[in-house]
Structure 1
Amino acid sequence: MNINVIDTGFFKLDGGAMFGVVPKSLWNKQNPADEKNLCSWAMRCLLIQDGDKLILIDTGMGNKQDAKFFGHYDLHGDATLLSSISQKGFEPEDITDVILTHLHFDHVGGAVQFNRDGSQLNPTFPNATYWSNEAHWNWAENPNPREKASFLKENINPIRESGQLKFVAKGSSPFDNIEFIFVNGHTEQMMLPVISYKGKKIIYAADLIPSSFHIPIPWIMSYDMRPLQTMVEKQEVLQNAANEGHILFFEHDPICEAALVENTEKGVRIKLQGDFNEVI
């Protein structure tokens, strides 16, 4: 097995929304906001070569939205999903599987793109199976008013219409070296891939623990649908990671790609952090 980090660029979100009830005097020391109270966040994915499979986990925001949409999020940085995949020596046609942790636009947007003449939206990876789960997919197709802006039909419908969509059943996995943790605090049935690699386990933390800043249990995003449940789920994942030496991979941390954690008097805290290859 070989694992590559795929950078898809950065975007900005309101600092208060990303840190919930945590006072700005605390979180601003971790990820300083600009004059609009916006902080930069990564959209970082993983590309896994395992036997005859080339598996992409999440896809970033993509580039098919209009200028008004991107103006809300200040998409920046030189990296894109496809350029980063190309730098690793692969083309979109090489991807065999795309795991979507959940269907919020900053995780699924790159999964769909316009064709060459801009007349139709198609899956970006024509030979890939796209993996979600039925409960989350139904949730995304019938969103509640608060979460509706995160589930865009242009990101979801083309995948189903393509015939490339399959669902992961809870308690099972279509992959030999990837299992899944299902969590419900951020959104209904978000999937966290757990990758077995070189005798270790890597937890793709998605939006349960979007960054290293969110390690303390009360540091919960305002975007979470069930914040109290997020706290319980995060405590369980972090405790297991500390006890078992699992590696956390951060999708949104602007600097830190991965970390090991340990038990301390203040709870679970970071033991070692940095680039993925440094931590692994």
Structure 2
Amino acid sequence: MNLYPINAGNFKLDGGAMFGVVPKSLWQRTNPADANNMIDLTARCLLIEEGNRLILIDNGMGNKQSDKFYGYYHPWGDYSLSSSLKSYGFHEDDITDVFMTHLHFDHCGGSIKRNKDNTGFEPAFKNANFWSNKDHWKWATQPNRREKASFLKENIMPMEESGQLKFTDIPELDTLENSKLGFDIFFANGHTDKQMIPLIKYKGKTIAFMADLLPTVGHLPLPFVMGYDTRPLLTLNEKEIFLNRAADNNYYLFLEHDAHNEIITVKHTEKGVRLKNTYTTEDIFK
């Protein structure tokens, strides 16, 4: 197995929204804001090469939206999904599976592109299966008013229309589900219904792709929950369960949205689970 970090682009979001009820005087210690209260974020995806499969976990915002849309998210840097894949010798057509932790636009927007004559949309990965789960798919295609702006039809419906959509299983109990892609999944419902957190076994280590369960290092304290989460008290509980497991089992936490910290480990302290070590992806994937 080979693992590759894929940077699908950098952006900014309001720090207050990213940390909910936590005062700025606390969250700015780890996530300093600019003059407009915006903090640096990224869409760090993960490519798994194993046998004849190339599995891409999440894929950023994509490039099909309007300039006005992207203007809300202040893109910065030169990274893109295509250029990052190319840097490792891959192309979108090589991808066999696209696994989406959830269907918010900043995690699945790269799945779909505009067609050649700009009259509609089509899969950006023409040879790939797109993986979600039935409960989250229903949640995204029949969205509540609070999340509706994050579930864009043009990002989601072409997957089903193409016939490339697949569903992984959902466990009946609070256990890790072994997916059809060969890695375990932890299901979390606080941010959005049935978000999937992959746990990949790699060279004796467990790599946990944290998605929006732990967006940045700054979110390690349990009460530091995003304002975007639909059920923040549930997030609190899910974070506690997962971070305790991570500390007990020395998981390597792959941070999707932290622009400046790629992979971390955590430890138990008197204040709860806190940062142990920080690593680059090169440190772990070499």
The C-alpha deviation readout for 1:178-230, integer Å capped at 9, x for no partner, is 11111100000000011011111111010000111111111100000000000
Runs of 4+ in structure 1 displaced over 6 angstroms?
none
* Counterpart amino acid of residue 158 in structure 1: P
| Corresponding position of 1:60 | 60
Which string of whole-angstrom CA distances, capped at 9 and with x for unpartnered residues, describes residues 55-80 of structure 1?
00000011100011011111221010
User: Of 213, 236, 249, which aligns to 2:218?
Assistant: 213
Question: Hey, what does 2:133 align to over in structure 1?
Answer: 133
Distance 1:62 1:75 in 2: 12
Segments of structure 2 that go 5 or more residues without pairing to the other structure are 171-176
Q: Which residue matches 1:173?
A: 179
- The alpha carbon displacement at 1:35 in A equals 1.7
Unaligned runs of 5+ in 1: none
**What is the match of residue 200 of structure 1?**
205
Secondary structure of the residue aligned to 2:36 is coil
Give the aligned length. 279
Q: Which amino acid aligns with 1:69?
A: F
- Check the 8 A contact 1:108/1:155 in 2, yes or no: yes
Distance 1:209 1:119 in 2: 38
Matches within 5 A, 1:221-240: 221-240=226-245
Shift of 1:172: 4.1
- Secondary structure class of the residue paired with 2:192: coil
**Who is 1:79 aligned against?**
79
| Structure 1 match to 2:173 | none
Residues 62, 109 of structure 2: 8 Å contact kept = yes
**Distance in 2 separating the partners of 1:72 and 1:79:** 18
Give the whole-Å Cα distance in 2 for the aligned partners of 1:233 and 1:67.
Answer: 36
1:160 aligned residue: 160
Deviations along 1:121-148, one digit per CA (max 9) or x if unpaired, are 1111000000000000000001111111
Q: Are the equivalent residues in 2 in contact too, given 1:273–1:279 (CA < 8 A)?
A: no
Whether the 8 Å contact between 2:30 and 2:217 is mirrored in structure 1 is: no
* Counterparts of 2:70 and 2:93, CA distance in 1: 27
Q: Distance in 1 between matches of 2:215 and 2:42?
A: 10
SS in 2 for 1:30: coil
1:110 aligns with 110
| Offset of residue 279 of structure 1 | 4.7
In 2, the alpha carbon distance for the partners of 1:267 and 1:238 equals 9
Instruction: Spell out, residue by residue over 1:20-39, the C-alpha distance to the aligned partner (whole angstroms, 9 max, x if none).
Output: 11110111121111222111
Q: Percent identity?
A: 53
In 2, Cα distance between the equivalents of 1:250 and 1:133? 22
TM-score by length of 1: 0.97
The one-letter code sitting in structure 1 at the alignment partner of 2:181 is: F
Q: How does 1:8-157 map to 2 (within 5 A)?
A: 8-157=8-157
1:259 counterpart = 2:264: yes
Distance in 1, matches of 2:154 and 2:181, equals 28
SS in 1 for 2:180: coil
The CA distance in 2 between the partners of 1:85 and 1:149, in whole Å, is: 28
